[in-house]
């Protein structure tokens, strides 16, 4: 799953359950599609195991190697076609879903989310042809209030339910960001020094952006004038004292429309002659900028990813032990904040970590299971030869 937080120039890649996989930082955000094709896809091809061999791909032209689940920023029919040619399936929200489907098309399905939670979704599916002739699968979810959420994908082999679950599991990334902000507090360690941006980096020409903004603003005003012009009708009797004011209003509106049309045409000519992108070194002095230092940020991001993945692994171990799976992370935080006794035994090569009982007995059962699993890993305390032994209670 991929997301591109609007407040940062980086793109994050997470697993289905929200566990972070990698982060791509950019001084200037070139857009999610370029980051996927130029940075993320080459890394995934190196790091991911081979799920489908060449013979299977050759025998089945609709088979894919893996699936990218992205937000709306990745919506692009040409991009989907390029990814399909590389045998990579895409799954994202439909940017232009059109009219609602009849509600009788939707059927209730029992689904299991990546967290293990079970719920019910009202789903329907159709085939859909994009503007470039590429056929995709369109799956819609009907909410209790009647809202339809449309997703499209080029995974032609998976069942409908796993695809729907995969798309809506993308919210686990937002949960990751929220959880890190609330409970990790590591951003306090990040410095706010600045460093120069590479002079070869290309950015949108400020003059091009200004002209483009003026064109969109003028076009919006023109559209409103055209709508107003169309509503000007003469409902009164055809008499001079009624017709003349009406014609005067139509004439003034027509003149304003023509003025905006000339203005938009002039602006478009200027934009056409203005370079869309410039290198940072070619920017006017008042438009040049620097970026926040990334050295400590990369380090802190790495710690966040490792910490969240480790906590998620422990949460998955405990989820089946508790009657309420949503309490797992609060239990883990209680363990982290509780005191523990550390008893080193250099002769036996052990470091015993004694955890104290919690108020809830069901929590103790879960903690004991966690201790058993951690002990089976035979992990040694960093920079020592002492094997860590986790115990519950004071005995």
pLDDT value at 159 more than 50: yes
pLDDT value at 5 more than 60: no
Rounded to whole angstroms, how far apart are CA atoms 148 and 105?
12
pLDDT value at 249 more than 90: no
CA torsion through residues 188, 189, 195, 201, sign: negative
pLDDT of residue 27: 67
Q: Comparing C-alpha atoms, which of 313, 358, 352 is closest to residue 338?
A: 358
Rounded to whole angstroms, how far apart are CA atoms 269 and 267?
5
pLDDT of residue 138: 95
pLDDT of residue 306: 81
Task: Please write the tens of the pLDDT for every residue from 178-187.
Answer: 677 677 765 6
What 3-state DSSP class applies to 185? coil
Q: Give mean pLDDT, residues 197-210.
A: 81
pLDDT of residue 327: 82
pLDDT of residue 153: 93
pLDDT of residue 6: 41
Rounded to whole angstroms, how far apart are CA atoms 386 and 144?
56
Instruction: Select the highest-mean-pLDDT range: 180-194, 272-286, 291-305, 337-351.
Output: 337-351
Per-residue confidence at 298, pLDDT binned at 50, 70, 90? Answer: confident
87 close to 65: Cβ distance less than 8 angstroms: yes
pLDDT value at 57 more than 90: no
pLDDT of residue 76: 93
Task: Please write the tens of the pLDDT for every residue from 90-102.
Answer: 999 998 888 999 9
For the record, the structure tokens of 93 come out as 């929200």
Per-residue confidence at 292, pLDDT binned at 50, 70, 90? Answer: low
Dihedral angle of Cα 62, 116, 176, 80, to the nearest 10 degrees:
10
DSSP 138-169: EEEEE-TTS-EEEEEE---SS-HHHHHHHHHT
Tokens 């003149």 sit on residue:
255
Instruction: Select the highest-mean-pLDDT range: 224-228, 266-270, 283-287.
Output: 266-270
Q: Give mean pLDDT, residues 23-31.
A: 72
pLDDT of residue 7: 41
Angle between helices 328-337 and 361-376 (to 10 degrees): 80
Q: Give mean pLDDT, residues 377-388.
A: 90
- DSSP letter at 380? B
């Amino acid at each position: 799953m991929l997301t591109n937080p609007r407040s940062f120039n980086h793109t994050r890649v997470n697993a289905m359950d929200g566990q972070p996989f990698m982060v791509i930082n950019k001084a200037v955000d070139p857009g999610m599609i370029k980051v996927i094709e130029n940075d993320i896809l080459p890394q995934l091809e190196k790091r991911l195991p081979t799920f489908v061999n060449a013979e299977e791909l050759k025998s089945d032209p609709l088979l894919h190697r893996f699936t990218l689940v992205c937000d709306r920023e990745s919506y692009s029919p040409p991009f989907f076609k390029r990814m399909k040619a590389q045998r990579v399936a895409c799954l994202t929200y439909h940017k232009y879903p059109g009219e609602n489907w009849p509600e009788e098309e939707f059927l209730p399905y029992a689904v299991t989310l990546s967290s293990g939670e079970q719920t019910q979704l009202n789903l329907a599916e159709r085939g859909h042809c994009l503007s470039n002739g590429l056929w995709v699968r369109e799956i819609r979810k009907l909410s209790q209030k009647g809202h339809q959420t449309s997703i499209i994908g080029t995974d032609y082999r998976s069942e409908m339910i796993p695809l729907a679950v995969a798309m809506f599991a993308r919210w686990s990334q937002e949960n990751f960001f929220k959880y890190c902000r609330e409970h990790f507090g590591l951003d306090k360690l990040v410095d706010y020094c600045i460093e120069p941006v590479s002079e070869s980096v290309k950015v949108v020409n400020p003059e091009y952006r200004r002209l483009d903004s003026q064109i969109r603003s003028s076009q919006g005003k023109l559209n409103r004038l055209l709508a107003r012009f169309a509503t000007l009708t003469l409902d009164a009797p055809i008499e001079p004292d009624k017709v003349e004011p009406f014609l005067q209003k139509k004439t003034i509106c027509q003149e304003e429309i023509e003025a905006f049309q000339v203005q938009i045409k002039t602006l478009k000519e200027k934009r056409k002659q203005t370079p869309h992108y410039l290198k940072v070194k070619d920017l006017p002095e008042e438009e040049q900028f620097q970026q926040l230092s990334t050295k400590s940020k990369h380090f802190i991001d790495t710690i966040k990813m490792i910490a969240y993945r480790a906590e998620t692994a422990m949460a998955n171990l405990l989820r089946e032990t508790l009657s309420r799976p949503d309490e797992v992370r609060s239990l883990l935080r209680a363990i982290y904040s509780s005191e523990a006794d550390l008893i080193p035994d250099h002769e036996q090569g052990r470091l015993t970590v004694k955890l104290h009982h919690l108020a809830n007995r069901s929590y103790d059962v879960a903690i004991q299971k966690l201790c058993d699993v951690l002990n089976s890993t035979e992990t040694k305390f960093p920079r020592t030869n002492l094997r860590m032994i986790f115990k519950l209670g004071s005995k």
